[in-house]
Amino acid sequence: MVKGKFVRIVVLFITVYVAWVGTSAYLAHATNFAWATRDQKISRIQEIEEIAGLIVGGSNAVYSLSAERMSTLTSEPWFNASIINEGFTFENNLLFLDDIVNSIDATKVKTVILSSIRLVKSKKAVGMISRRGYGFDGGKLPPVWLPYDSIFGFINSEHNRIFPSFISRNGDLLHDEAEVCTTAGRPGNLQWATNDQIVSFIDSWLPAIHSRFPNAEVVITIPSRYLSNEPDPLKEEAYVNRLETHITTWIANHKEAANLSVSVTPEPNYFVDSILCNNSNHFNAFGRQLRTNALYAAMVNK
Mean pLDDT along residues 137-151: 57
> Phi and psi of 116, rounded to 5°?
-130, 130
12 assigned to some structural domain? no
**Does residue 184 register a pLDDT over 90?**
no
55 inside domain: yes
Mean pLDDT, range 209-224, rounded to an integer: 97
In tens, the pLDDT along 231-247 reads 888 999 999 999 999 99
Q: Within a domain: residue 258? A: yes
> Does residue 204 fall inside a structural domain?
yes
Residue in 22, 30, 35 with CA at minimum distance from that of residue 148: 22
Torsion of the alpha carbons at 31, 36, 37 and 38, rounded to the nearest 10: 140
pLDDT of residue 230: 84
Higher pLDDT, 27 or 180: 180
Residue 235 lies in a domain: yes
Task: Tell me whether residue 278 is in a domain.
Answer: yes
The domain total for the chain is: 1
pLDDT tier at 21, thresholds 50, 70, 90 = very low
**For position 72, which CATH number holds?**
3.40.50
- Any bridge partners for residue 283, and if so which? 276
Pairing of strands 111-115, 282-283: unpaired
Ramachandran region, residue 264 (left: φ > 0; alpha: ψ -120 to 50; beta: rest): beta
- Does residue 22 belong to any structural domain of this protein? no
| Domain span including residue 104 | 39-137+164-300
Mean residue pLDDT across the chain: 85
> What is residue 33's predicted lDDT score, i.e. its pLDDT?
86
> Is the residue at 5 inside a domain?
no
Residue 185 falls in which region: left (phi positive, over 0), alpha (psi -120 to 50) or beta: left
- The vertex-131 CA angle with 163 and 282, nearest 5°, equals 45
Q: Is pLDDT above 90 for 30?
A: no
Mean pLDDT for 211-222 is 97
Mean pLDDT of 263-290: 94
Integer Rg of the chain from CA: 21
pLDDT at 256: 92
